[in-house]
Structure 1
């Protein structure tokens, strides 16, 4: 797998699928934003809006492609983006669960850095 060309396509596909599922149940006051910065390797799916007088703003998924690996910085999905990545053929060694403290990553089945 040519990581430089395939990894961005893989994460875009995953995030787009998540966004499309959410679009089936729209809330006019809360927007789902898909932010794809391929040049810098940042991929974000987030919500933004207002609900019952409170500001809603937060990342659901934030993944980076860095040094030939996926760095999952934020993941609030049920099954996890790492699971989606593995289904798409990415090895565990190519995924860093960056939301874990660096000294705790050694206890996961994924890359530490």
Structure 2
């Protein structure tokens, strides 16, 4: 694929599709993948006993040719999913870290 943005969009969608297949083992929880305007989210919602569940598990953005990992509540880590799909570390921003702390990682700062 010649267009890097389209390639990254496809990668993001594949990752969401993989995670949305997971069925939580407890409670009546539904997972929903949402993709719009280069934002990719996986949310969970429902009930676990008497407790309401509604949270963002993954928030991934594509900005200026890089993946920005805004939120990652997965066990393995979405960053590893990106690396497994040959996304270079300098095209991954760990946005959940403070900008000053990002320089301590092996990944892009901005």
**After TM superposition, is the score higher than 0.5?**
yes
Residue of structure 1 in register with 2:69 after alignment: 72
Q: Structure 1: how far apart are the matches of 2:48 and 2:90?
A: 40
Match of 1:5 in 2: 6
Where in structure 1 do 4 or more consecutive aligned residues deviate above 4 Å?
25-28
Instruction: Report how far residue 3 of structure 1 moved.
Output: 1.8
1:30 corresponds to? 29
Return the match for 1:41 from 38, 43, 59.
38
Q: Matched residues in 2 for 1:110 and 1:4: separation?
A: 19
SS in 1 for 2:103: helix
What's the secondary structure of 1:110's corresponding residue? Answer: coil
Q: Could you state the TM-score of these two structures normalised by the residue count of structure 1? A: 0.89
Q: Distance in 1 between matches of 2:79 and 2:88?
A: 10
The count of aligned residue pairs is 109
Q: Distance in 2 between matches of 1:43 and 1:78?
A: 18
Instruction: Quote how far apart the aligned CAs of 1:111 are.
Output: 0.2
Q: Tell me, which stretches of 5 or more residues in structure 2 are unaligned?
A: none
Please say if 1:96 is aligned against 2:93. Answer: yes
The alpha carbon displacement at 1:27 in A equals 5.7
Helix, strand or coil at the partner of 1:36:
strand
Q: Which structure shows the higher helix fraction?
A: 1
Q: For 1:49 and 1:57, locate their aligned partners in 2 and report how far apart those are by CA, in whole Å.
A: 7
TM-score, normalised with respect to structure 2: 0.91
1:26 deviates by 6.1
1:51-79: CA deviation from partner (whole Å, max 9, x where unpaired): 22221011111100011100000001122
Aligned CA-pair RMSD: 1.5
